[in-house]
Structure 1
């Protein structure tokens, strides 16, 4: 097994996910809704749902393909690096194309290209966690999820909110950030080459791509029970989170009736608070997990905090609710992002396909952002904006219950 020292791996696990997730969150939650509103304001809710549905399908397929290809790759740069760099380049191109779109079809095409490219970053990069030394996996997971994803989820959104007045330029700048940031991350990690594995692969029976393997690519429930529970838990938790963040711009303008200045200030406030908690948990949660051998309980209980934040917006509907949401959702997401990848690494049913299973699991970071707006759009059309907060609470609770039912991780 490849082992990379934490002094190299940790910076890469912070910069890497921040470089792909930050621009994607900025584009999906702010720039894309703003551009859709400019192109077709009358159908903006339905169009966001359409983009999300198409993105969900493309993300699911491309993520699995990227994971499989990465696991099978042999190169002087290792298994992961070629796909990560290629994905980052084409994501940048997709964002530039999106900035030029003046109608729905070319914007949708550019967005789908971006979804494919993004997942060729995500699936191989999360497998970097498997490079961590055995006694430092909690710390590595905290760096990836707590620090890297906190910067991506919230840090970049603070900056992106300032581009709402010029969101086309935002597409371009944040696309470039993905490519440059990814190059920096892979240069720091310096994944070793694995050409020496070629001989071992050729010696195997040539059954890799037979139909039998395709049909059994996912193990049956009795074998992969805990992995599936972790995956289901992540999907429900992700929908609970992104049902709100995916419509945050419209929540501020259409639900809380804030003007342009108030919307920008509120979005920046929420993301500043969540960024602080995310960074704090990135430093704290992973090392505590390593020291006290506790993993399942904090991951599950973090969803309760997320649910409380959603309820605060439902009941209070004012600036106080915005602050409470920032604190509770920030704490919950900080703990979750710090430890959920480590939890999944513990329950993977086949250690020979780490990138594939980690990649599928991390569809929760892309597919739920696509699925949540579809669910939210349906709920909004039936019961109005206020109902999405109840949906967020319910989904977060179900996600936590799934995590608690994992058996192979005791606590």
Structure 2
């Protein structure tokens, strides 16, 4: 029988949980890591950020699929998700402490990769908590995870993280501890029931794995069409978004030349995005549940992201920064509130929820890895200004792919 957890427990956990892993990761990835790389090897900082992103993408992709698959098959007195979530949080904290004392780029890279693997052992099982929600409350649960939890993670922590720009090594330690403690609180609140006594379907003899059996892992296009469209849509939208946020420090210093106003500008952007993200988190899920509308708000949310990118490209001043923050706040708030629910609706195998949701949520880590690599190439070829046009195009493509989904009507 399918496990159902009350929204009274699930919603707080789905807010605190993703905020606790995503917030520290965003701060370290967008602020502390570039700052430490610049400290260790300033002449090659752009190339090194791209290197870290490429390696992180590979590690994240592999560890995420492994974590999701293991979580789906786990039986314990703490449930199938909690043991992996807590193990990942503990190792992530240790890895960030190691990163804080790294004396060279190779040591920093090794610590960061361990952290990337551990992070995905939090991500893949945790997003599957949404599937514990009652049928008529899945929109609310998705909104809690993406709209509120991820809004706090994406923007709330950066407001505080910017204060540690001059003490970035200490920042790694503090935010690593915050991640562990926050995830622990979320796990205790959700309090998954034991699944030791769950009855499995009769086991069939396992055939020898061949290349034809790859469909057992990823189904063919005819079965998984809408899932793949959702996945590609998230990747395009994520790359468009993180192409800007991943280089926000360098955009402020090297492109907009904010100088002493760099810290306050980053805080302003994240504060505005946080406010709108939280607002959409409260509104989007319940509205989706009531009016049975899902695909359209997710698809059209990318228009706001695209508009925000153009504002920075054309204005390049305080007004452009504020318009970008407003537009991105509304767009990301709407997207984060509902995109996980949309994906849950198009999963091709309901017995592997954590696996497929985990792969989908690679969009939160892999796109942060892909975006700086592509952005670095765009910057080197065309200059910083081209990154905003790149973000505009990718955001729109992401929305079009989402709107092409057929199994979810509106």
TM-score by shorter chain over 0.5? yes
Q: State the secondary structure of the residue aligned to 2:197.
A: helix
Question: Corresponding residue for 1:410?
Answer: 409
Question: Corresponding residue for 2:72?
Answer: 71
Question: Corresponding residue for 2:230?
Answer: 230
Alpha-carbon RMSD: 1.1
Give deviations 1:11-40, integer Å, cap 9, x for gaps. 000000000000000000000000000000
User: Residues of 2 paired with 1:2 and 1:339: CA distance?
Assistant: 22
Give deviations 1:321-346, integer Å, cap 9, x for gaps. 00000000000000000000000000
Give deviations 1:214-245, integer Å, cap 9, x for gaps. 55300000100000000000000000000000
Aligned length: 408
User: Residues of 1 paired with 2:250 and 2:133: CA distance?
Assistant: 41
User: Residues of 2 paired with 1:82 and 1:344: CA distance?
Assistant: 24
Give deviations 1:71-125, integer Å, cap 9, x for gaps. 0101111110000000000000010000001211000000000000000000000
Q: State the secondary structure of the residue aligned to 1:200.
A: coil
Question: Corresponding residue for 2:28?
Answer: 27
Q: State the secondary structure of the residue aligned to 1:40.
A: helix
Q: State the secondary structure of the residue aligned to 2:200.
A: helix
Question: Corresponding residue for 1:278?
Answer: 277
User: Residues of 1 paired with 2:120 and 2:213: CA distance?
Assistant: 22
Deviation at 1:280, TM superposition (A): 0.2
Give deviations 1:279-302, integer Å, cap 9, x for gaps. 000000000000001000000000
Question: Corresponding residue for 1:51?
Answer: 52
Question: Corresponding residue for 1:340?
Answer: 339
Q: State the secondary structure of the residue aligned to 2:319.
A: helix
Deviation at 1:200, TM superposition (A): 2.4
Q: State the secondary structure of the residue aligned to 2:219.
A: coil
Question: Corresponding residue for 1:378?
Answer: 377
User: Residues of 1 paired with 2:215 and 2:113: CA distance?
Assistant: 27
Question: Corresponding residue for 1:314?
Answer: 313
Q: State the secondary structure of the residue aligned to 1:78.
A: coil
Deviation at 1:208, TM superposition (A): 8.1
Q: How does 1:92-111 map to 2 (within 5 A)?
A: 92-111=93-112
Structure 1 residue 176 corresponds to structure 2 residue 177: yes
User: Residues of 2 paired with 1:366 and 1:180: CA distance?
Assistant: 21
Q: State the secondary structure of the residue aligned to 1:406.
A: coil
Q: State the secondary structure of the residue aligned to 1:349.
A: coil
Name the CA shift for 1:97/1:206 in 2 (closer, same or farther; >3 Å).
Answer: farther
Question: Corresponding residue for 1:91?
Answer: 92
User: Residues of 2 paired with 1:104 and 1:125: CA distance?
Assistant: 31
Q: State the secondary structure of the residue aligned to 2:5.
A: coil
Question: What residue ranges of structure 2 are gaps of 5+ in the alignment?
Answer: none
Report the TM-score, using the length of structure 1 for normalisation. Answer: 0.98
Give deviations 1:345-390, integer Å, cap 9, x for gaps. 0000000000000000000000000000000000000001000000
Question: Corresponding residue for 2:203?
Answer: 204
**Structure 1 outlier segments of 4+, above 2 Å:** 208-216
Give deviations 1:25-57, integer Å, cap 9, x for gaps. 000000000000000000000000000000000
Q: How does 1:2-401 map to 2 (within 5 A)?
A: 2-197=3-198, 200=200, 203-207=202-206, 210-211=209-210, 213-214=213-214, 216-259=216-259, 261-401=260-400
Q: State the secondary structure of the residue aligned to 1:191.
A: coil
User: Residues of 2 paired with 1:323 and 1:339: CA distance?
Assistant: 25
User: Residues of 2 paired with 1:254 and 1:208: CA distance?
Assistant: 57
User: Residues of 1 paired with 2:277 and 2:216: CA distance?
Assistant: 37
Deviation at 1:209, TM superposition (A): 8.2
User: Residues of 2 paired with 1:409 and 1:97: CA distance?
Assistant: 45
Deviation at 1:213, TM superposition (A): 4.7
User: Residues of 1 paired with 2:215 and 2:139: CA distance?
Assistant: 33
User: Residues of 2 paired with 1:105 and 1:205: CA distance?
Assistant: 47
Q: State the secondary structure of the residue aligned to 1:31.
A: helix
User: Residues of 2 paired with 1:391 and 1:96: CA distance?
Assistant: 35
Question: What residue ranges of structure 1 are gaps of 5+ in the alignment?
Answer: none
User: Residues of 1 paired with 2:80 and 2:325: CA distance?
Assistant: 38
